[in-house]
Amino acid sequence: MKMKLVLVEKDETLRTQLEELLAFYNLFDIVKTFDGINEANKYICLNEVDAVFINIRTGNPRYSGDGSFLAYNLSQIKPDVLVALYSEEKLEAGMVFECCCDEYFRLPFDNRVLQRVVKRLQYLFELLQYKRLSVNRSMMIKTRNGYQLVDIDKVLFIERMDRKNKMVMVDGKEMILSGYSMNELEQILEGYNFYRCYQSFIVNLSRVSYVRADNEAKNFALIFEGYAGEVMVSRDKYTEVLQLLKNKYAKLTL
């Protein structure tokens, strides 16, 4: 799962350089870029954002505050948003602390320094994901028989078949969902380690125990422990699914 990232940088050249450097890690989805503080602050507060890179010189302290103001403001309003602050000048540790940022580095961009920053943000992001998953592992789902509280950990996958969305559980039970499209279910379950591996399948990655791959026939499938069937994986998503599983679940048989 990539981090939804916002860049706040008024210098187009620096912004382009940062975009290209971050693309190398394949960990970020840059959802928006801004050259002003007020616009960035409004967007981040109203939308789902995981991390933000801010040049401290962005903005005008007389009218909107600079990058340090935005970093501090986000720490108070949206504390789960990870903030990396950067500057041409060397900042004292006390000032960095007062800005409440998670990482700080100096310009010009240095690959080794940026690698440290990215690794730190990745680590913090994974901790936040674990926290969110640990706190809330149940959700109310509408079925054709009414509403039902479902333990997310006990869901194997959701399948679209005959214009119906079927949820298959670990114990083999099935329930027909009502009022959801596959796109809506994909969005609802994205934060719970679910992944849409095929047009008609959304799977619980934490329940996958084996990946079957026939490279000659270009046929790929996911297998779950204790479940007799298998779930197909589209060719264009196989590599991404494999990488997600490798990164998250060391006990998986590949």
Query: Are residue 57 and residue 38 in the same domain, yes or no?
Result: yes
The model's pLDDT over 169-192, given as tens digits with 9 standing for 90+, comes to 998 899 999 989 999 999 888 778
Last residue of a domain, one of 109, 135, 161: 135
Residues 36 and 92 in one domain: yes
DSSP, collapsed to helix, strand or coil, labels residue 34 as strand
Tell me the β-bridge partners of 201: 159, 198
Question: How many domains are contained in the chain?
Answer: 2
Mean pLDDT of the chain, nearest integer: 87
* Residue 116 in tokens: 């440290």
* pLDDT tens digits, one per residue of 72-129: 999 988 999 999 999 988 876 567 777 889 999 999 999 999 999 999 999 999 888 8
The alpha-helical segments, DSSP class H, found in 80-139 are: 93-99, 111-135
Cα four-point dihedral sign 115, 128, 243, 253: positive
Residue 133: pLDDT band by 50, 70, 90 thresholds?
A: low
Q: Which two tokens stand for residue 10?
A: 């008024």
pLDDT score recorded for residue 215: 75
Question: Are 116 and 188 contained in the same domain?
Answer: no
Output the pTM of the full model. 0.58
CATH of residue 233's domain is: 2.40.50.1020
For residues 7 and 127, membership in a common domain is answered with yes
Please list, residue by residue across 79-101, b when 16 or more beta carbons sit within 10 angstroms of its beta carbon and e when fewer do.
eebbbbbbbeeebeeeebeebbb
Query: What element of type H or E holds 174?
Result: strand 174-177
Question: Could you tell me the pLDDT band of residue 130, with boundaries at 50, 70 and 90?
Answer: confident
Omega of the bond leading into 108 within 30 degrees of 0 (cis): yes
144 and 228 both lie in a single domain: yes
The span from the CA of 68 to the CA of 28, in Å, is 22
All residues at 6 or more sequence positions from 6 whose CB lies less than 8 Å from its CB, including other chains: 30, 31, 32, 33, 34, 40, 43, 44, 49, 51, 52, 53
250: pLDDT strictly greater than 50: no
3-state SS, residue 243? helix
Q: Is residue 144 very low, low, confident or very high in pLDDT (cuts 50, 70, 90)?
A: confident
